[in-house]
């Protein structure tokens, strides 16, 4: 299972979720993606995106402005 890290800091809507979608699309089932973003809208966006697309949101952690998510491709 490949692991991809995405640095989405400094980006604003809709770029972070587009970058996540593009990366996950390229990967294989079971691949893990870790993304860091400092856009406050990223948290609800990631929840909605995972719910809609069916990929698994393993974790979401916050440190200061940074939001780190770990997603597994379905």
Partner 1 sequence: MSADAVQDKIKELEERLAKVEGNRSNMTMVLFSGDFDKAMAAFIIANGALAMGKEVTIFVTFWGLDVLKKPTMTGAGKNVLEKMVTMMRPKGPAKLPTSKMNFAGIGPKLFHYMMGKKNVTSLQNLVDTAVEFGVRIVACQMSMDVMGIKREDLMDGIEFGGVAAFLGSSFDSNTTLFI
> Active-site positions?
13
CB of 10 vs partner 1, minimal distance in Å:
5
Beta bridge partners of 39: none
The C-alpha atoms of residue 23 and residue 18 are separated, in whole angstroms, by 9
Give me the sign of the Cα torsion angle 57, 72, 24, 68. Answer: positive
For residue 7, what are the β-bridge partners?
36
Can you tell me the distance from the alpha carbon of 62 to that of 50, in angstroms, rounded to the nearest whole number? 18
From 13, 40, 58, 65, residue interacting with partner 1 (rule: CB under 8 A): 13
Q: How far is the CB of 66 from partner 1 (least distance, A)?
A: 15
Q: Least distance from C-beta 15 to partner 1, angstroms? A: 6
Instruction: Annotate each residue in 14-53 with x if it binds partner 1 (CB under 8 A) or - if it does not, as one string.
Output: xx-xx-xxx-------------------------xx--xx
């Amino acid at each position: 299972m490949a692991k991809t890290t995405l640095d989405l800091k400094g980006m604003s809507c809709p770029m972070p979720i587009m970058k996540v979608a593009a990366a996950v699309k390229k990967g294989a089932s079971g691949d893990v993606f870790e993304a860091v973003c400092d856009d406050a809208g990223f948290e609800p966006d990631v929840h909605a995106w995972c719910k809609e697309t069916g990929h698994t949101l393993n974790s979401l952690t916050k440190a200061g402005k940074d939001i780190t998510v770990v997603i597994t491709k379905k």
